[in-house]
Amino acid sequence: MSAARRLGEARELLAEHPVVDGHNDLPWALRKQVRYDLDRRDIAGDQSAYLHTDIPRLRAGGVGAQFWSVYVAAELTGDEAVSATLEQMDAVDQLIARYPGDLVRALTADDMEAARADGRIASLMGAEGGHSINNSLATLRALHRLGVRYMTLTHNYTIDWADSATDEPRHGGLTEFGREVVREMNRVGMLVDLSHVAATTMRDALAVSAAPVIFSHSSSLAICDHPRNIPDDVLELLPVNGGVAMATFVPKFILPAAVAWTQAADENLRAHGLHHLDTGPEAMALHRAFEAEHPRPVATAATVADHLDHMREVAGVDHIGIGGDYDGTAFTPAGLDDVSGYPNLIAELLERGWSKPDLAKLTWSNAVRALRDAEAVAREQAASRGPSNAVPADTA
């Protein structure tokens, strides 16, 4: 089968079973680049000079549902984190209101299916890091009321109640309050996202959660040894839990050679006084200069496929998905350069012999099922438990 024909088949498949992407940082990019001045980044047209994401490319990529990350910098704490999260959510509201022919708000699995039937991109929100709720379960509920459907328990830093994968552990996983956060998320119907958290936190959360968890953008630790990835023993827990691990495309997490290169590149950014996750114009210029001197190892669709092959092997085909992290990463794999690239990944998997039913689970139905199951757990729990107002032990 020719490459062109495989790509055609991939597009056909995506037309019916579009991609549910677990993580896209467009809101943060809009905040950093233009302070949400949506006139200056009109995503109805080509924004490839500034962004990985715009509507024409989402359409070309076969995206049918997007969890828009309402990430706020992990350096923010207290009210600043909460306010910034509210602003991020407000920006998503504005995007949905501004492009009603292409984006539609989705709060439930039914909404996702309705959007697919309607030919619009279901727009969900995910908060990235427990710092966004400022140790307040009422704030968690407010986020849920305002439309947030998953929360990543931590971002890059360990917080008061959960250890991060990329910071010093302080709790050995989740604290007692952390477990209560997971229970409250189950009760209101917000998916627990275990990307970014320490493996100990993953195991603690899986032990507590009555609902499926997700990894909104994490790949396999066995394929690439980076703390942002998922160990096999955790992947093995997903069939019982019902959760979904959504493979990410970030080269520095998925390609061993890129892990080493990135350490050097991050050091370069920090030496210029910038945060190593900055994707602003200045940071990009520095990155380009560094890259001119040090050729960057290039990930490809095959790199992502290697992870998905392994994750399917260990977690099973019902427990994998896709979470590109576009606009949240400076670099992307060749062929998956922006949100129009998903068909190339599907073509690669077709080449590797993945069946169409399996691919439909990967792209669409696993993620929808996880949200639907979380809704069912919430209905069941809300009938027997009231809202929790627990606070972290040291502030009680």
The residues that touch another protein, with contacts defined as CB under 8 A, are: 77-80, 82-84, 86-91, 93-94, 97, 133-136, 138-139, 141-142, 145-146, 387
| Shorter beta-carbon distance to another protein: residue 355 or 389 | 389
CB of 395 to another protein, least distance (A): 10
| Shorter beta-carbon distance to another protein: residue 181 or 238 | 181
Residues catalogued as catalytic:
23, 25, 128, 155, 196, 217, 325
CB of 149 to another protein, least distance (A): 15
| CA 300 to the chain's CA centroid | 19
Rounded to an integer, what distance in angstroms lies between the CA atom of residue 13 and that of residue 108? 23
CB of 88 to another protein, least distance (A): 7
CB of 42 to another protein, least distance (A): 14
Angle 253-259-263 from CA coordinates, rounded to 5°: 120
Residue 150 parent element (H or E): strand 148-152
Which token pair is 75? 């350096």
| Shorter beta-carbon distance to another protein: residue 188 or 283 | 188
| Shorter beta-carbon distance to another protein: residue 27 or 178 | 27
- Going by the DSSP 8-state scheme, the letter that residue 83 receives in this structure is H
Rounded (10°) angle between helices 342-351 and 301-315:
60
- Spatial CA neighbour of 307 closest among 323, 294, 291, 295: 323
Which token pair is 201? 């936190």
Rounded to an integer, what distance in angstroms lies between the CA atom of residue 21 and that of residue 18? 9
Largest CA distance in the chain: 64
